[in-house]
Amino acid sequence: MSNVITARRPRLSAGLWILTLSAAAAFILLSIRYFTPDGASLQGRGALLVVFSTGLLAAAGPLMGLIVLPHRLFLLLNFLVILDILCTGFLTYFIPAHVAFALMVVAAFGWFAHPGPGPRR
């Protein structure tokens, strides 16, 4: 018995599209806020970490949908994605980036809507 998901998905599900696009929009917004010299966000390491983790979240959406991953790696990536959504949403609530917070809420809805790993073969 193998724990590799063998069925390749022909395209991303709607939930992963929502997750990826909202994370990409939040990444662009937070990057602009961070790299603007007199921007609203402070140019500290914590704000840069939020920008970087949001970029990783935007890259993880297509990775979960298009690449065949072992079941445990898929579950780990799934856990890290929801952890990233929750932590980034928490931090964007406290730095005044309410649009990015709303985009993280939309990304959470996309995460809940994606189909999961599929049947094990």
CB distance 100 to 40 below 8 Å: no
pLDDT digits (tens, 9 = 90+) for 82-96: 999 999 988 888 877
pTM: 0.81
pLDDT at position 86 is 92
pLDDT digits (tens, 9 = 90+) for 104-115: 999 999 988 887
Q: How many residues does the chain have?
A: 121
Domain boundaries of the chain, sorted by first residue: 27-113
In DSSP terms, 4 is beta-bridged to 70
Spell out, as residue ranges, where the chain has pLDDT lower than 70. 1-11, 39-42, 116-121
